[in-house]
C-alpha cells in the first residue's frame, strides 16, 4: 500500500511540475511580447538607460551567456537522458522551465541601450515595420499550434508521466507554414525582433544575439533530426528552405514529406 501511495505521489508531482513549467512558459512568452514591444512592464528592450554604456554591454552579454549556457547544456543528449532516467514526463518540462527562468533573468536584468539608429514612428514605413513584426509573432503562434502546442511546452509529456508511461512522439506533417519553410517559429521570432519602427543599438545587440543563438541551435537540431528520421528528413530539407520561405510549397501528399518531422524550441 505504501509503495502504491509513493508511486501515485510521484506521478502527481510529475503532473504538477509539468503544469508549473507550462504556466511559466506562457508567462514568459507574454513577457517577451511586452518586453520587446515596450509595453506595460517597467524594464523594456528600449527603455530608459540604467547604467553606463560599458556596464550595459557587459551585463547584457553576461545575461546572454547564461541563456546560451542553459540551452547548450540541456539540449545535449546526455542531459536529456539523465532527466529521462528520473522518470517519464520530466525531461521536456524541465527544459521548458529552465528556459523560462533563463529568459526571465535576461528580461529582468536587461540594461537598455536606447541610442537610436533610426526612428520611423508615425511614418508609413514605421507602420509597415510594426505590421511585419506582428506578422512574425503570428507566425510563431501558428507554428506552435501546428506542431502541437502542449507537446512543445511539455504539458503533454507530464500528462503521460502522470499516467506512468512516456509520451508518444509528436507527429508533424509537412503542412501549412511547414510546406514553405522548415523553421517558421525561429523565422517568425527573428522577424519580430528585427522589425521595429525605432531601431536602437540595444535592440541590435538583443536581435543579433538571438540570431546567433538560432543559427547555432538550428545546426544541432537538424543534425539530430537527420539522425532520428534519416532519408525522410533529408528529403524534407531538400524540398523546403531553412529560413527563406518558398512561394512554391512542398506537395502535401509527398510520402517522404508526410513522415514525422518536428521543430524543437
User: Could you tell me if residue 264 is inside a domain?
Assistant: no
pLDDT, tens digit (0-9, with 9 covering 90-100), for 146-174: 888 899 899 999 999 988 888 887 664 67
User: Could you tell me if residue 204 is inside a domain?
Assistant: yes
Average pLDDT for the chain: 86
User: Could you tell me if residue 259 is inside a domain?
Assistant: no
User: Could you tell me if residue 27 is inside a domain?
Assistant: yes
**pLDDT value of position 81:** 84
Q: Report the number of distinct structural domains present in the chain.
A: 1
pLDDT, tens digit (0-9, with 9 covering 90-100), for 18-62: 999 999 999 999 999 999 998 888 999 999 999 999 999 999 999
The answer, yes or no, to whether residue 128 has pLDDT greater than 90, is yes
The answer, yes or no, to whether residue 250 has pLDDT greater than 80, is no
The pTM score is 0.85
User: Could you tell me if residue 263 is inside a domain?
Assistant: no
User: Could you tell me if residue 146 is inside a domain?
Assistant: yes
Domain housing 67: 2-239
Which of 16-30, 59-73, 82-96 holds the top average pLDDT?
16-30
Mean pLDDT across 181-186: 91
Mean pLDDT across 83-99: 90
User: Could you tell me if residue 50 is inside a domain?
Assistant: yes
Task: Give the 3-state secondary structure of the chain.
Answer: CHHHHHHHHHHHHHHHHHHHHHHHHHHHHHHHHHHHHCCCCCCCCCCCCCCCHHHHHHHHHHHHHHHHHHHHHHCCHHHHHHHHHCCCCCHHHHHHHHHHHHHHHHHHHCCCCCCEEEECCCCHHHHHHHHHHHHHHHHHHHHHHHHCHHHHCCHHHHHHHHCCCCCCCCCCCCCHHHHCCCCHHHHHHHHHHHCCCEEEHHHHHHHHHHHHHHHHHHHHHHHHHHHHHCHHHHHHHHHCCCCCCCCCCCCCCCCCCCCCCCCCC
Amino acid at each position: 500500500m505504501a509503495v502504491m501511495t509513493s508511486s501515485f505521489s510521484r506521478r502527481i508531482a510529475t503532473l504538477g511540475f509539468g503544469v508549473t513549467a507550462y504556466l511559466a512558459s506562457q508567462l514568459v512568452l507574454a513577457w517577451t511580447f511586452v518586453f520587446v514591444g515596450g509595453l506595460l512592464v517597467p524594464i523594456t528592450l528600449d527603455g530608459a538607460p540604467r547604467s553606463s554604456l560599458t556596464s550595459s554591454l557587459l551585463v547584457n552579454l553576461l545575461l546572454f551567456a547564461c541563456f546560451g549556457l542553459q540551452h547548450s547544456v540541456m539540449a545535449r543528449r546526455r542531459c536529456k537522458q539523465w532527466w529521462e532516467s528520473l522518470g517519464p514526463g520530466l525531461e521536456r518540462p524541465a527544459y521548458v522551465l529552465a528556459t523560462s527562468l533563463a529568459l526571465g533573468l535576461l528580461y529582468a536584468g536587461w540594461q537598455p541601450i536606447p541610442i537610436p539608429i533610426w526612428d520611423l514612428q508615425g511614418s508609413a514605413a514605421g507602420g509597415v515595420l510594426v505590421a511585419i513584426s506582428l506578422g512574425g509573432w503570428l507566425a510563431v503562434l501558428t507554428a506552435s499550434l501546428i506542431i502541437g502546442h502542449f507537446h512543445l511546452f511539455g504539458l503533454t509529456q507530464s500528462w503521460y508521466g502522470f499516467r506512468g508511461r512516456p509520451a508518444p512522439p509528436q507527429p508533424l506533417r509537412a503542412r501549412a507554414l511547414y510546406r514553405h519553410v522548415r523553421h517558421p517559429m525561429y523565422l517568425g521570432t527573428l522577424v519580430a525582433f528585427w522589425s521595429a519602427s525605432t531601431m536602437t543599438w540595444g535592440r541590435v545587440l538583443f536581435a543579433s544575439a538571438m540570431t546567433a543563438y538560432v543559427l547555432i541551435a538550428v545546426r544541432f537540431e537538424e543534425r539530430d533530426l537527420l539522425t532520428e528520421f534519416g532519408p525522410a528528413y533529408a528529403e524534407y530539407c531538400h524540398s523546403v528552405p531553412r529560413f527563406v520561405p518558398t512561394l512554391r510549397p512542398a506537395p502535401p501528399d509527398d510520402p517522404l514529406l508526410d513522415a514525422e518531422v518536428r521543430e524543437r524550441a
